Amino acid sequence: MLPFTSCTIWLAILVLLFIQDKSVFCSSDDGKLSISSLLPHEFALVQFDSRQPKNYWLVAAEWNNEYCKNHGHKYIYYSNQGYCHHGEEKLADAWCKVRAMINAYEDFPAVKVFIYMDSDAVIDKRFANTSLNAMFQVLQQRLDWNPQLKPVIFNQDGPCWWCTFVMKIGYTMCLNAGTVVWYRHPLSEQILTRWWDASLDSYENNPIKRKFRLKWPWEQDRQMAIYNQSKESIQITSQPDRVFMQSTLGFQEDGWCLSHLPTAGCFISHYCANGQSKQVMRRSYNIHKKSSLLESEEIVDHDTLENPFEINLLHF
């Protein structure tokens, strides 16, 4: 029988720890944390909608929930009761997506990488069989992303009048808040909290000259301001060397993009162009064989669906 010395016991403990959470020890050759080496359940998709589940936002939630189940990822859905607010200050509902990001960080400590997606965004069908592990391997290689230095990723918008406008008034990057990525890190928590608190910023000297608490572009205005203040801690995707991304980047030869309109060919298709676009998504991404279930304008009791997802209530 082999003698079990104290050194042998400690070696066995270290091996067990490695097996249980190999992601702690995995890094690339240049020392950066290899995101793709995380365990599947350490990735999460996060969505928020203030309305009762029905119509296109229920279709998107069910599709994304099914995607997560297929790959072993976590799906997190938030809603809220009453109006969106920061303390006594009433905010547009869109602002509460930022609160949902903070809640997800706080409520799901086992998750290490989060992707927030607007309720009119889905993992594109072309990538339904691609796990988040595989997607992040591509993202990290293409962007040379170091999640420990830049734990938040903001997503670019594409060419449009909005991008031309924000460039003229002094913002250095045209962003869209419909997709946001963050790695669990004190810096990402700080940036998300600052973004939420920016809802109370003074309107004075705001370059867009809009009352962003209640009027469009809401949280997206402050997102660009936060980026201007914290560029060293925020990664841009998908073309960080440009002010905005090309409109068909994902379909170009050797092209790739994280999120944009469905015509861009990205991993995430964001059907935000107009109401008609959202209904195209509603018809195209219905996971039920009988589409009549989700064609009604009636509120659907999601607990009666084949694969119900948990609805978490925002806490302030």
**Tokens standing for 169?**
């008034």
Match domain 39-313 to its CATH number in 3.90.650.10, 3.90.550.10, 3.40.50.150, 3.20.20.70: 3.90.550.10
What was the pLDDT predicted at 26?
Answer: 64
For residue 312, which of 47, 41, 44, 43 has the smallest C-alpha distance? 47
For residue 42, the SS3 value is helix
CA-CA distance, 298 to 316, in Å (whole number)? 29
Q: How many other β-carbons are positioned within 10 Å of the β-carbon of residue 189?
A: 17
Q: Between 186-197 and 218-229, two packed helices, what is the crossing angle to 10 degrees?
A: 130
Boundaries of every domain in the chain: 39-313
CA-CA distance, 153 to 291, in Å (whole number)? 35
What was the pLDDT predicted at 31?
Answer: 77
Give the predicted TM-score (pTM) of the model: 0.89
List residues bridging with 78 in a β-sheet: 48, 312
Query: What stretches in the chain show pLDDT beneath 70?
Result: 1-30, 289-307
pLDDT digits (tens, 9 = 90+) for 153-203: 999 999 999 899 998 998 989 999 999 999 999 999 999 999 999 999 999
Burial of 183 (0-12, 13-18, 19+ CB in 10 A): buried
> SS3 sequence, 86-109?
ECCEECCHHHHHHHHHHHHHHHCC
Long-range contacts (CB closer than 8 Å, 24 or more residues apart) made by 257-260 = 258/139, 258/153, 258/155, 258/179, 258/181, 259/117, 259/121, 259/155, 259/176, 259/178, 259/179, 260/155, 260/156, 260/157, 260/158, 260/176
**Tokens standing for 171?**
């913002």
Which phi and psi angles does 75 have, rounded to 5°?
A: -110, 130
| CA-CA-CA-CA dihedral for 121, 126, 130, 132, to nearest 10 | -20
CA-CA distance, 154 to 186, in Å (whole number)? 17
Look-up: residue for tokens 């060397």?
241
Contact 89, 199 (CB under 8 A): yes
What was the pLDDT predicted at 179?
Answer: 98
What was the pLDDT predicted at 291?
Answer: 47
Contact 67, 141 (CB under 8 A): no
What was the pLDDT predicted at 24?
Answer: 45
The contacts of residue 37 (CB under 8 Å, 6+ apart) are: 22, 23, 26, 133
Look-up: residue for tokens 């790959």?
71
Cis peptide before 37 (omega within 30 of 0): no
Q: How many other β-carbons are positioned within 10 Å of the β-carbon of residue 31?
A: 8
H-only helix segments in the chain:
6-20, 55-71, 96-107, 132-143, 161-168, 186-197, 218-229, 275-284, 292-295
